[in-house]
Amino acid sequence: MKTYHHGNLKQELISCACRLCEEHGYETLSMRSIAKESGVSQTAPYRHFDTKESLYASVAMEGFKKLSLATNLDTSKKVTKKNLVEKGINYINFGLEYANTYDLMFGTAVGDFSNYPDLLDCANDTYENMRLSFSKLSNDSEEIVAYKCITFWSMLHGLVGILRKVAVVDQLDSGQDLGPIPAASLIGDNLDLHLDKVITGIIQS
Protein backbone atom coordinates (compact mmCIF):
# COMPACT_ATOMS: atom_id res chain seq x y z
CA MET A 1 0.00 0.00 0.00
CA LYS A 2 1.37 3.39 -0.97
CA THR A 3 1.61 6.03 1.73
CA TYR A 4 2.25 8.90 -0.69
CA HIS A 5 0.87 10.05 -3.97
CA HIS A 6 2.00 12.30 -6.79
CA GLY A 7 -0.23 14.69 -8.67
CA ASN A 8 -3.78 15.67 -7.81
CA LEU A 9 -4.95 13.02 -5.37
CA LYS A 10 -8.50 14.33 -5.12
CA GLN A 11 -9.00 14.15 -8.87
CA GLU A 12 -7.52 10.68 -9.00
CA LEU A 13 -9.85 9.57 -6.23
CA ILE A 14 -12.79 11.00 -8.18
CA SER A 15 -11.63 9.24 -11.34
CA CYS A 16 -11.40 5.95 -9.46
CA ALA A 17 -14.84 6.54 -7.94
CA CYS A 18 -16.31 7.22 -11.40
CA ARG A 19 -14.80 4.03 -12.74
CA LEU A 20 -16.00 1.94 -9.80
CA CYS A 21 -19.44 3.51 -9.98
CA GLU A 22 -19.82 2.56 -13.62
CA GLU A 23 -18.46 -0.94 -13.09
CA HIS A 24 -20.37 -1.87 -9.96
CA GLY A 25 -22.96 0.82 -9.20
CA TYR A 26 -22.74 3.81 -6.91
CA GLU A 27 -24.12 1.83 -3.95
CA THR A 28 -20.80 -0.03 -3.73
CA LEU A 29 -18.73 3.13 -3.50
CA SER A 30 -16.95 3.75 -0.22
CA MET A 31 -13.91 5.59 1.05
CA ARG A 32 -12.27 2.21 1.53
CA SER A 33 -12.95 1.06 -2.05
CA ILE A 34 -11.59 4.20 -3.72
CA ALA A 35 -8.55 4.18 -1.43
CA LYS A 36 -7.80 0.61 -2.41
CA GLU A 37 -8.33 1.36 -6.11
CA SER A 38 -6.06 4.41 -5.91
CA GLY A 39 -3.38 2.67 -3.89
CA VAL A 40 -3.44 5.10 -0.97
CA SER A 41 -4.09 4.74 2.74
CA GLN A 42 -7.66 4.19 3.88
CA THR A 43 -7.67 7.56 5.62
CA ALA A 44 -6.52 9.57 2.58
CA PRO A 45 -9.99 10.01 0.98
CA TYR A 46 -11.34 11.57 4.17
CA ARG A 47 -9.07 14.55 3.62
CA HIS A 48 -11.04 15.36 0.47
CA PHE A 49 -14.56 14.05 1.15
CA ASP A 50 -16.40 14.75 4.40
CA THR A 51 -19.14 12.22 3.76
CA LYS A 52 -20.12 9.51 1.29
CA GLU A 53 -22.67 11.95 -0.13
CA SER A 54 -19.91 14.42 -0.95
CA LEU A 55 -18.13 11.61 -2.82
CA TYR A 56 -21.36 10.84 -4.67
CA ALA A 57 -21.72 14.53 -5.52
CA SER A 58 -18.26 14.60 -7.10
CA VAL A 59 -19.05 11.55 -9.24
CA ALA A 60 -22.41 13.01 -10.26
CA MET A 61 -20.71 16.27 -11.24
CA GLU A 62 -18.31 14.40 -13.51
CA GLY A 63 -21.33 12.73 -15.04
CA PHE A 64 -23.02 16.05 -15.78
CA LYS A 65 -19.82 17.33 -17.32
CA LYS A 66 -19.75 14.34 -19.68
CA LEU A 67 -23.43 14.78 -20.45
CA SER A 68 -22.91 18.44 -21.30
CA LEU A 69 -20.02 17.60 -23.62
CA ALA A 70 -22.17 15.02 -25.36
CA THR A 71 -25.33 17.11 -25.70
CA ASN A 72 -24.77 20.84 -25.41
CA LEU A 73 -25.47 22.86 -28.56
CA ASP A 74 -23.86 26.16 -29.51
CA THR A 75 -26.88 28.38 -28.84
CA SER A 76 -25.05 31.46 -30.10
CA LYS A 77 -25.68 30.06 -33.58
CA LYS A 78 -28.83 28.93 -35.36
CA VAL A 79 -30.40 25.86 -33.77
CA THR A 80 -32.43 23.53 -35.99
CA LYS A 81 -34.82 20.70 -35.21
CA LYS A 82 -32.18 18.33 -36.56
CA ASN A 83 -29.73 19.69 -33.98
CA LEU A 84 -32.23 18.99 -31.23
CA VAL A 85 -32.83 15.46 -32.53
CA GLU A 86 -29.08 14.80 -32.41
CA LYS A 87 -28.95 16.28 -28.92
CA GLY A 88 -31.71 13.90 -27.82
CA ILE A 89 -30.01 10.87 -29.35
CA ASN A 90 -26.74 11.77 -27.64
CA TYR A 91 -28.57 12.21 -24.35
CA ILE A 92 -30.18 8.76 -24.61
CA ASN A 93 -26.90 7.15 -25.65
CA PHE A 94 -25.21 8.70 -22.63
CA GLY A 95 -27.89 7.32 -20.32
CA LEU A 96 -27.49 3.86 -21.82
CA GLU A 97 -23.69 3.84 -21.90
CA TYR A 98 -23.19 5.29 -18.42
CA ALA A 99 -26.22 3.71 -16.78
CA ASN A 100 -24.88 3.51 -13.23
CA THR A 101 -23.56 7.07 -13.28
CA TYR A 102 -26.85 8.24 -14.77
CA ASP A 103 -28.74 6.61 -11.89
CA LEU A 104 -26.59 8.52 -9.43
CA MET A 105 -27.01 11.82 -11.28
CA PHE A 106 -30.80 11.63 -11.35
CA GLY A 107 -31.48 9.59 -8.24
CA THR A 108 -31.76 10.67 -4.62
CA ALA A 109 -28.38 9.55 -3.28
CA VAL A 110 -27.31 13.20 -3.41
CA GLY A 111 -30.15 15.01 -1.71
CA ASP A 112 -29.92 18.77 -2.13
CA PHE A 113 -27.68 19.84 -5.00
CA SER A 114 -27.48 23.35 -3.54
CA ASN A 115 -25.20 21.89 -0.85
CA TYR A 116 -22.72 21.27 -3.66
CA PRO A 117 -22.57 24.48 -5.75
CA ASP A 118 -20.27 23.07 -8.44
CA LEU A 119 -22.58 20.11 -8.97
CA LEU A 120 -25.60 22.41 -9.09
CA ASP A 121 -23.91 24.58 -11.73
CA CYS A 122 -23.12 21.54 -13.90
CA ALA A 123 -26.66 20.17 -13.60
CA ASN A 124 -28.21 23.55 -14.37
CA ASP A 125 -25.94 23.96 -17.40
CA THR A 126 -27.50 20.84 -18.95
CA TYR A 127 -31.00 22.22 -18.44
CA GLU A 128 -30.13 25.76 -19.51
CA ASN A 129 -28.65 24.60 -22.81
CA MET A 130 -31.76 22.57 -23.56
CA ARG A 131 -34.01 25.50 -22.65
CA LEU A 132 -32.05 27.90 -24.87
CA SER A 133 -32.16 25.35 -27.69
CA PHE A 134 -35.95 25.27 -27.53
CA SER A 135 -36.13 29.06 -27.36
CA LYS A 136 -34.37 29.19 -30.73
CA LEU A 137 -37.13 27.12 -32.32
CA SER A 138 -40.20 28.97 -31.06
CA ASN A 139 -41.48 32.45 -30.25
CA ASP A 140 -43.13 31.35 -27.02
CA SER A 141 -42.84 33.03 -23.66
CA GLU A 142 -40.07 31.96 -21.30
CA GLU A 143 -42.61 30.05 -19.22
CA ILE A 144 -43.86 28.05 -22.22
CA VAL A 145 -40.31 27.40 -23.44
CA ALA A 146 -39.40 26.05 -20.00
CA TYR A 147 -42.50 23.83 -20.07
CA LYS A 148 -41.57 22.47 -23.51
CA CYS A 149 -37.98 21.89 -22.39
CA ILE A 150 -39.07 19.87 -19.35
CA THR A 151 -41.56 17.93 -21.48
CA PHE A 152 -38.78 16.93 -23.88
CA TRP A 153 -36.35 16.13 -21.08
CA SER A 154 -38.95 13.98 -19.33
CA MET A 155 -39.50 12.03 -22.53
CA LEU A 156 -35.76 11.48 -22.97
CA HIS A 157 -35.42 10.43 -19.34
CA GLY A 158 -38.28 7.98 -19.70
CA LEU A 159 -36.83 6.52 -22.89
CA VAL A 160 -33.49 5.89 -21.18
CA GLY A 161 -35.22 3.75 -18.57
CA ILE A 162 -37.46 1.96 -21.08
CA LEU A 163 -34.64 1.19 -23.52
CA ARG A 164 -32.52 -0.17 -20.69
CA LYS A 165 -35.39 -2.51 -19.90
CA VAL A 166 -35.67 -3.46 -23.57
CA ALA A 167 -32.00 -4.45 -23.60
CA VAL A 168 -32.47 -6.71 -20.57
CA VAL A 169 -35.64 -8.33 -21.93
CA ASP A 170 -34.04 -8.90 -25.32
CA GLN A 171 -31.21 -10.76 -23.64
CA LEU A 172 -33.67 -12.98 -21.79
CA ASP A 173 -36.32 -13.42 -24.46
CA SER A 174 -35.70 -11.98 -27.91
CA GLY A 175 -39.11 -13.27 -29.03
CA GLN A 176 -41.06 -11.09 -26.58
CA ASP A 177 -44.20 -9.90 -28.39
CA LEU A 178 -46.49 -8.79 -25.57
CA GLY A 179 -46.68 -5.53 -23.65
CA PRO A 180 -44.75 -2.35 -24.44
CA ILE A 181 -41.41 -3.97 -25.27
CA PRO A 182 -41.95 -4.44 -29.03
CA ALA A 183 -43.05 -0.81 -29.49
CA ALA A 184 -40.19 0.45 -27.32
CA SER A 185 -37.73 -1.68 -29.26
CA LEU A 186 -39.03 -0.22 -32.52
CA ILE A 187 -38.50 3.29 -31.16
CA GLY A 188 -34.98 2.36 -30.11
CA ASP A 189 -34.23 1.23 -33.64
CA ASN A 190 -35.60 4.48 -35.11
CA LEU A 191 -34.68 7.11 -32.55
CA ASP A 192 -34.08 9.90 -35.05
CA LEU A 193 -37.52 9.49 -36.62
CA HIS A 194 -39.25 9.20 -33.24
CA LEU A 195 -37.51 12.23 -31.76
CA ASP A 196 -38.23 14.29 -34.87
CA LYS A 197 -41.95 13.60 -34.46
CA VAL A 198 -41.89 14.26 -30.73
CA ILE A 199 -40.02 17.55 -31.09
CA THR A 200 -42.35 18.68 -33.88
CA GLY A 201 -45.34 17.97 -31.64
CA ILE A 202 -43.80 19.79 -28.66
CA ILE A 203 -42.85 22.85 -30.71
CA GLN A 204 -46.29 23.12 -32.31
CA SER A 205 -48.21 22.58 -29.07
Question: What structural domains does the chain harbor?
Answer: 1-49 (1.10.10.60), 52-204 (1.10.357.10)
Is 55's pLDDT higher than 90?
A: yes
Highest mean pLDDT among 34-43, 45-54, 88-97: 88-97
Q: Would you state the pLDDT for residue 166?
A: 86
Which of 83, 143, 105 minimizes the C-alpha distance to 22? 105
- As a whole number, the mean pLDDT across the chain is 90
DSSP string, 39-69: TS-TTGGGGT-SSHHHHHHHHHHHHHHHHHH
Confidence class of residue 170 from pLDDT cuts 50, 70 and 90? Answer: low
